[in-house]
Amino acid sequence: MGLIPLTEPLLNGRELEYVTECIQTNWVSSLGRFVTQFEKDFAAFCHCSHGIAVSNGTVALHLALAALRIGPGDEVIVPTLTFVATANAVRYTGATPVLVDSDPYTWNLDPAAVAAAVTHRTRAIIPVHIYGHPADMDPLLDIARRHNLWVIEDAAEAHGAEYKGQRVGGLGHFGCFSFYGNKIITTGEGGMVVTNDPDLAQKAQFLKDHAMSPVKRYWHPEIGFNYRMTNIQAALGVAQLERIDYLIELRRQHARQYAAELQGVPGITLPPEADWAKNVYWMYSVLIEGDYGFSRDEVMAGLKAQGVDTRPFFYPIHTMPPYQSGQRLPVAEELSKKGMNLPSAPTLTEDQIGTVCSILREKALRT
């Protein structure tokens, strides 16, 4: 039996045509029509006025923090249950990530825990829309307003997800996206910073390209970065973006099938979709609880033996060596132990999802 993949990009739109154009016209580096078009179109998709394309999602986060002048002595509130890049980007600036527990229902930043973590050093909050479900933004934006904090959304997993009818990315001061190969849309490697603030956009654009003076070439008033995206990457991005609604709808359709087939299986908790949320199901994720009869790791091994690729939830960042402090964040620790991502590739067939679900329903897990 062939492997049922966890993720796999779908590149059968105009990707090849646009990349070929880059090569035939020599526009292979970071100038070219696709970079500007991708920035404009992706920002519009997020209902934002500005998009700044960068080389990956991690540097998108770093660039946003750098543009906000966050650095040594500052604290930035980050969920502990996220991909490590969210916290690492804070460390790159010299600031301290303050790791906070999750809400047990949305798996995202718990607003009460955020409020309790604010100190006189706090400068920003980075809500992460984990696995495609938006964080509960209103209470977070409220805390930010009360304490005069910046809000940077880490929307690397949530292109097109909606909070109370609004697309993620444009809800805070900056939104950061990744276009890594397994994300909702891909440019191979790539990222984007979006914002509605023209001054912040200009600052990010400036820092991304070596902080070169826009009026005096090769004059650098401060230390910037080379975080540019290539025209070839952007060509992929433009083609992917033409089909993003379809790519999201495929994931939502797969989620509906999973939910219908796994509903009511004791010990399997399905992923959230709050009534204020549109989940884009970047990874269709479930919790394996006590009464299922097999542990999460046994379920993963049993599926693997039958050709089904899965992935465990992230380890909470506060448990890994660079961030260990003896801190206990029990909700995230629990989610991390129970959670797994089921096959979520847009290329999955109804039969493949049916196979995964019947193995889980029948607990046909012995290897």
Ligand X SMILES: *Cc1c(COP(=O)(O)O)cnc(C)c1O
Binding site for ligand X (CB under 6 A): 56-58, 82-83, 85-86, 128, 154, 156-157, 178, 180, 191
DSSP calls for 321-352? GGG--S---HHHHHHHHHEEEEP--TT--HHH
Burial 213-238 (b: 16+ CB within 10 A, else e): eeeeeeeeeeebbebbbbbbbbbbbb
- Min CB(83)–ligand X separation in Å: 4
- Min CB(86)–ligand X separation in Å: 5
- Min CB(156)–ligand X separation in Å: 3
- Min CB(92)–ligand X separation in Å: 12
Residues 340 and 312: beta-carbon distance below 8 Å: yes
**Quick one: 56 or 285, whose CB is closer to ligand X?**
56
**Quick one: 227 or 258, whose CB is closer to ligand X?**
227
**Quick one: 56 or 352, whose CB is closer to ligand X?**
56
Residue 102 in 3-state DSSP?
strand
Count of CB atoms within 10 A of residue 269's CB?
A: 16
**Quick one: 191 or 346, whose CB is closer to ligand X?**
191
**Quick one: 55 or 195, whose CB is closer to ligand X?**
55
- Min CB(164)–ligand X separation in Å: 21
- Which residues are CB-neighbours of 12 under 8 A, at least 6 positions away? none
- Min CB(111)–ligand X separation in Å: 19
Count of CB atoms within 10 A of residue 304's CB?
A: 13
**Quick one: 4 or 85, whose CB is closer to ligand X?**
85
**Quick one: 66 or 360, whose CB is closer to ligand X?**
66
**Residue 66: closest CA among 250, 232, 223, 188:** 223
- Min CB(178)–ligand X separation in Å: 3
**Quick one: 128 or 340, whose CB is closer to ligand X?**
128
**Quick one: 180 or 292, whose CB is closer to ligand X?**
180
SS3 assignment for 163-176:
ECCEECCCCCCEEE
Residues 357 and 258: beta-carbon distance below 8 Å: yes
DSSP calls for 29-44? SS-SHHHHHHHHHHHH
Residues 261 and 361: beta-carbon distance below 8 Å: yes
Residues 109 and 125: beta-carbon distance below 8 Å: yes
Structure tokens, 113: 């825990």
- Min CB(64)–ligand X separation in Å: 12
Burial 103-130 (b: 16+ CB within 10 A, else e): beebbbbbbebbbebbeeebbbbbbbbb
- Min CB(296)–ligand X separation in Å: 20
**Residue 157: closest CA among 179, 172, 188:** 179
**Quick one: 128 or 288, whose CB is closer to ligand X?**
128
Taking CB atoms, the residue at the shortest distance from ligand X is 57
Q: What residue has token string 């995202």?
A: 108
- Min CB(266)–ligand X separation in Å: 30
